[in-house]
Amino acid sequence: MERSPMSGTAPAWPAASLTQIQDILCAPGARFEMETVDIRGIPTRTWKNAPPNMTALVMLSRMHGARLATIYEDERTSYEAQYRAIAALAADLIAGGVQKGDRVAIAMRNLPEWPVSFFATVVTGAIAVPLNAWWTGEELAYGLADSGAKVLICDCERYDRIEPHRGDLPDLARVIASRCVGGAPDGVEELENIIGPTSAWLDLPADRGLPQVAIAPEDDATILYTSGTTGKPKGALGTHRNFMTNIFSSAYVAARTLLRRGEPIPDPVQKVGLTVIPLFHATALSAGLMGAMAAGHTSIYMRKWDVIRAFEIIERERVNTTGGVPTIAWQMLEHPDREKYDLSSLEAVGYGGAPSAPELVRKIVGDFKAMPTNGWGMTETTATVTTHAAEDYLNRPDSCGPAVPVSDLKIMDVDGREELPVGAVGELWARGPQIVKCYWNKPEETAETFVDGWVRTGDLARLDEEGFCYIVDRAKDMIIRGGENIYCVEVENILYEHPAVTDAALIGLPHKTLGEEPAAVVHLAPGAQATEAELQTLVRQHLAAFKVPVKILFSAETLPRNANGKILKPEVKKMFEAELV
C-alpha cells in the first residue's frame, strides 16, 4: 500500500482494488448496475440506468432551469433557454421535411448554436453529421456528399468555403446559417430567423415539447468522420446508446477515484468547464457535452484558443475543469504570465487524443494543484473506453488507464487470430456499448475493422495484470498533431499531384506540446524542380492547415521500400534524423 500522492491527509492508497470498487458501485440496485442486452446479435454489458436516447437527455437537461448551459464571450445561455431553442429548431426541421434517418450536417465553430443544432437534429430521429470546422471547402463538400446530407446548419464562415461546391451537392436541399454579417447569402436561411439570437431564446414558447418520434437506443444518431488509410475520411455511424454510455462511464470513474482514496462519494456538484477543443470531436461531444447536459455543468466556449484569454476566463468564471489535448495543458503550464492569474479554481485538467509525456502528469499536480486525467478512445468507440485519473495516473503515468466496466480490451496477434497474454504487445481490440455500428456506406472497411462486436483499433498496446492499458505505438499510418488526426496517405496523395513528385512519404516529427508534426520526404523526377514552399502551398490548397508538412526534404534517390513495395517509414525518419544532426 502506498500513501496518496494527491493528499497528505488521505489514508494509505489504494484503499480498495478496482475489482472491489466495481463490485460495490455496480451491485444490483446501485446507480452503476449493469445489464446484458443484445446489440446486433452480440450480448453486451450496458449501464442499466443510462438514458435510453438523447431525447431523454434533453428533457433531463431542462431540469437545470436557470443554471447556465453555455457561456460564449458576453452571451450567457441558461438550460431553459437552450431547451426552448432546441425544441423550436427541431419543430422547424420537421416542418421543413426532415424525417427519421435523414442526415443533417453541422459545420461551425464552438458556438451556443452548436449544441442546439445537434440536439435539435437527433431528437427528430435524424442523423447529425458534425463536420470538421477546420476543413477546407473541398473537404467539407466531401463530407456533405458522402453522408448525403439533406440539411446543413453552419456559420457563415463555413458557408463561404462550401458555397463554391454547392452545385456538386444535389442532396443538399436546405442551408441554414448563423451569424451572417449583413444578412445571409442567396439561397441560405438565417438561423436567427428561426430561433432568434441567443439573448432571445428564453422568449421562445415554453410549452413547446420535443418531437414525438420513437427512438430506440440502437437507432442511428451520428456520423462522425475519421480519416481513413484510403486517403478519404470514413463516417463512423453512431447510435443513441453509444453517446449515453459515456455519461455513466465518466461518472463511474469519478466515483472510482474517490473510493480508491477511501473517501465517501458526495452529492453531485455542478461545475464550470472551459471547452477548448472542437465539438465535432468525439472527445468534446461525447465525453464532454453529454455529461455536461446530464449534470447541469456550464460549458464555456472560446472563439479561438488563446492562453491569456483562457487564463482570464478561468479567473473570472472560476473554471473547475479544462483541457482536451496535451498541447493545451503544456501551453498553460509553460506560459510566462501564468502566475499573474488566479487559477486556483481548477480541479482537473484532462486530455486524450494525443501522446503525452509522464512529466505532464506531475506538472499538473505540482503547478496547478489539480487532478490530471487521461483516457483512450477513438471516433469508432465514441470516445471513452479507458480513463485514467489522480493517484492511478501518477503511479502509472505511461498508461491510459483500465477499461470502464461495460467495456473489454484484449491484445491480439498481428493476424487477429490469437489473443496474447498479459504484458505482450499486439493490436488493441475493444468492445462495449459505445462501439459504433459501422462505417457509413463502406462495407469492406467495416468488415475489416469490426469483428463480432470488437473494433480493431490499429493501436499497438499491452495490458498489465490489473487491466491497465499502455499504448505502445500506432499500427495505422497516422500522425496525431495536437489531437488532430493526420493520415499520411491523404497528404501523400496531394504531394503526388505535383508533376515533379514521383515518390513521397509523410512521417511524424516529435514535438513537445503538439505530440507530433507532419514532415515529408519527396523524390523528384530527373530534371524536374519543386521547392518546399511550393509543395506546402499545394497541400494547403486542398487540406486543412494542420495537415501541411512543417518540413519537406528532397531525396536524390527513390525512397526505401520493402519487398512488397511499401515505403519503410522508419528509414524515412532516419533521413530526418540525419538532417537534424
Helix 240-261 × helix 54-62 angle, to 10°: 60
The identity of residue 297, as a single letter, is H
Three-state secondary-structure class, residue 541: helix
Closest to 109 in 3D by CA, of 262, 248, 281: 281
6 vs 527, higher pLDDT: 527
pLDDT tens-digit readout, 136-173: 999 999 999 999 999 999 999 999 999 999 999 999 99
Q: Specify the pTM.
A: 0.87
Same-fold call for 71-237 versus 478-580: no
* Mean pLDDT value across residues 311-315: 98
Please name the amino acid found at residue 242. Answer: N
Q: Which CATH superfamily is domain 478-580 in?
A: ANL, C-terminal domain (3.30.300.30)
Does the 71-237 domain belong in CATH 3.40.50.980?
yes
Q: Average the pLDDT over each of 72-76, 119-123, 242-246, 352-356 and give the range with the smallest value.
A: 352-356
Q: Higher pLDDT residue, 45 or 472?
A: 45
pLDDT one-digit tens code per residue, 409-459: 999 998 899 999 999 999 999 999 999 999 999 999 999 999 999 999 988
Cell numbers standing for residue 551: 518540413
pLDDT in tens, 281-294: 999 999 999 999 99
Range list of H helices, 148-214: 156-162, 192-195
Nearest to 111 by CA among 189, 178, 188, 175: 178
The pLDDT of residue 327 is above 70: yes
The Cβ of residue 545 has, within 10 Å, a number of other Cβ atoms equal to: 9
Q: What is the pLDDT of residue 2?
A: 46
Written as nine digits, the cell of 522 is 519527396
Quote the strand ranges of 303-378, DSSP E. 321-324, 348-351, 371-378
Q: How far apart are CA 119 and CA 97, in angstroms?
A: 17
- CA dihedral over 115, 120, 125, 127, signed as positive or negative: negative
**Residue 517: beta bridge partners?**
509
List the domain boundaries for the chain. 71-237, 478-580
* pLDDT grade for 492, boundaries at 50, 70 and 90: confident
d(CA 218, CA 53): 9
pLDDT reported for residue 82 = 98
